[in-house]
Chain A
């Protein structure tokens, strides 16, 4: 785990039940000051519920939330030094861009001239044209509204900023731009960001650490690299993109066996455990072989289909009932044609054994 700064936010056994459903279940987490922490997980896994508790819009059923080591469970949202950017953005439709950004300052009775100055600074920082100051916010484009929402939150000058999937409704190209800008703003302000997304890519690009949620539980926390290369469960590895998952059993030291494929595979000696397990091989670590000797593990299959993914090409290879994904760079030579018999393989250090859950 990366060396963490002083914790700003700590969650101790936090749980939130709606009726009999535990939307958030026994979450323990510590978020460092200035960290960009991202929560990912499928729909309904409790991400929004968790962040709403952190922002003060929902109270935990049990457990404690600590800000700078002080319990804030019962502190209402308007007394917390935190601010949230909503998925709907929740911009005030009856207000101009400037009035939206200045809202928090107006609430604090800041002098109008000072307010305007601050709003204009933020607009400049977020690349909003200066003449938008008196434009009605409902007339702004999606990307502009996004920036206004961020500016409004920054004007509050919170210690922690929460984001609940703010970019989910935005098209791919603009989303990429805004992701970069958000990361820049994180650098410039040095504030703590807690970010929710569905998108693995978004999480990988922006975060210092990622937490994966599943059915209300936080099942793994780590740097993007850790989550990507050493997932602890089948669920996490599959959530992190296309992978090949082979259910296996232990088969002596340094070896596992797949019932369905009728084959044994070499694995790093220290990784074998007794529990039900899966062998995970990423498509980019699988390669086409000319002879079985070229890799320590190999399988024979039929080249079934191919997909161009920009700089890479992904192939589907059928081995018995199972479909394997193999990826190679476009410029690497490969002469296989569809329906050809092909040989695929990988080396033990490129596969991971994970729990089958």
Chain B
């Protein structure tokens, strides 16, 4: 009786989770399938398979420049967001100071701003300040949204940081800088790492902020949208697949690197 209950429950759990995963992953898989068509038009299901569009896309100079722009933005955003986020997280979770409560609330607010409105607002600012729109203004725009996210991700790790570690290091003769380099930074490394993954991936895939702020420079998500609206070719799903795959590779690579990092730490005896 209870045995069969048990197996029924397991079957239900299995069906449920499979359905949710399908719901989440199937659309992305469709892009992959759509990219493998031989035809010129967007049809589904596919009648004839072919990889022409893959080679065309990969060899296109335009696509390379797009990827390069997206990559540059994501890389610069990651570096700056990690620095801002790290010290922001220390202020958020490590130190007690007047105004901390207020800061904790306000720094998280931008995460919930509608991004298209934020993009528009930034566009107005850049115009007012006389900035020429380019990938550099997009970096600034991404940072407005991504730095708070990274701060939050890192703050979670900082909360579990035992402040007596720093005291112990100081007590053992370490200067402020030595304490930071030898203890604070390495202990918080996993948080810095996941923070930088977040920064990179959120910037890489961002469309609404880039739409308003890149000017003449073009990023992958923006290009995908433009092509979809006017001038569809199966190059669009190819590029979409490449973009998603790149994110997946970064994520998986990050995961592996993290595993290695913690394994090295726990160097078995």
Q: Which residues of A contact B (CB under 8 A)?
A: 55-57, 76-78, 82-84, 86, 88, 90, 92-94, 96, 103-104, 106-108, 131-132, 134-136, 138-139, 152-153, 156
Q: Beyond A107-B178, A134-B269, is A92–B171 a contact (Cβ under 8 Å)?
A: no
Are A92 and B173 in touch, CB under 8 angstroms?
A: no
State which of A84, A134, A138 has its C-beta within 8 Å of the C-beta of B168.
A84
Q: Beyond A92-B165, A94-B187, is A152–B172 a contact (Cβ under 8 Å)?
A: yes
- B170 interface residue per 8 A CB criterion: yes
Complex Cα–Cα for A202 and B95 (A): 35
B198 to chain A, nearest CB (A): 22
Are B187 and A90 in touch, CB under 8 angstroms?
A: no
Are B167 and A86 in touch, CB under 8 angstroms?
A: yes
Are B172 and A107 in touch, CB under 8 angstroms?
A: yes
Name the interface residues of B160-199: CB closer than 8 Å to any CB of A: 162, 164-165, 167-175, 178, 182-183, 186-187, 189
Complex Cα–Cα for A110 and B182 (A): 16
Are A76 and B170 in touch, CB under 8 angstroms?
A: yes
Are A77 and B171 in touch, CB under 8 angstroms?
A: yes
Beta-carbon contacts of B235-269 to A below 8 Å, as 1s and 0s?
00000000000000000000000000000011111
Chain B residues contacting A131 (CB-CB under 8 Å) are 269
Chain B residues contacting A93 (CB-CB under 8 Å) are 165, 187
Which chain A residue shows the least CB distance to B165?
A90
Are A86 and B173 in touch, CB under 8 angstroms?
A: no
Are B269 and A135 in touch, CB under 8 angstroms?
A: yes
Chain B residues contacting A55 (CB-CB under 8 Å) are 171
Are B178 and A96 in touch, CB under 8 angstroms?
A: no
Complex Cα–Cα for A83 and B170 (A): 10
Chain A residues contacting B267 (CB-CB under 8 Å) are 96, 134-136
Are B269 and A86 in touch, CB under 8 angstroms?
A: no
Which chain B residue shows the least CB distance to A83?
B171
Beta-carbon contacts of B202-235 to A below 8 Å, as 1s and 0s?
0000000000000000000000000000000000
Complex Cα–Cα for A86 and B164 (A): 8
Complex Cα–Cα for A108 and B173 (A): 8
Are A57 and B167 in touch, CB under 8 angstroms?
A: yes
Q: Beyond A90-B164, A90-B165, A92-B183, is A132–B171 a contact (Cβ under 8 Å)?
A: no
Complex Cα–Cα for A185 and B35 (A): 73
Which chain A residue shows the least CB distance to B185?
A94
23 A-B contacts (beta carbon < 8 Å):
A57-B167, A57-B171, A77-B171, A83-B172, A84-B167, A84-B171, A86-B164, A86-B168, A90-B165, A90-B168, A92-B168, A92-B182, A94-B265, A103-B169, A103-B174, A103-B182, A107-B172, A108-B173, A134-B269, A136-B265, A136-B267, A139-B269, A156-B173
Chain B residues contacting A84 (CB-CB under 8 Å) are 167-168, 171
Complex Cα–Cα for A83 and B173 (A): 9
Chain B residues contacting A132 (CB-CB under 8 Å) are 269
Which chain A residue shows the least CB distance to B164?
A90
Complex Cα–Cα for A92 and B167 (A): 11
Q: Beyond A88-B164, A90-B165, A92-B183, is A78–B170 a contact (Cβ under 8 Å)?
A: yes
Q: Counting chain B CB atoms within 10 Å of each CB, which of A92, A135, A152 scores highest?
A: A92
A151 to chain B, nearest CB (A): 12
State which of A57, A107, A138 has its C-beta within 8 Å of the C-beta of B173.
A107
Chain B residues contacting A76 (CB-CB under 8 Å) are 170
A144 to chain B, nearest CB (A): 12
Complex Cα–Cα for A142 and B267 (A): 19
Complex Cα–Cα for A12 and B190 (A): 46
A356 to chain B, nearest CB (A): 39
Complex Cα–Cα for A344 and B175 (A): 64
Chain A residues contacting B178 (CB-CB under 8 Å) are 107
Are B171 and A103 in touch, CB under 8 angstroms?
A: no
Are B165 and A78 in touch, CB under 8 angstroms?
A: no
Which chain B residue shows the least CB distance to A138?
B266
Q: Beyond A103-B172, A108-B173, is A77–B167 a contact (Cβ under 8 Å)?
A: yes
Chain A residues contacting B182 (CB-CB under 8 Å) are 92, 103, 106-107
State which of B164, B174, B186, B268 has its C-beta within 8 Å of the C-beta of A94.
B186
Chain B residues contacting A139 (CB-CB under 8 Å) are 266, 269
A102 to chain B, nearest CB (A): 10
Q: Counting chain A CB atoms within 10 Å of each CB, which of B164, B168, B169, B170 scores highest?
A: B168
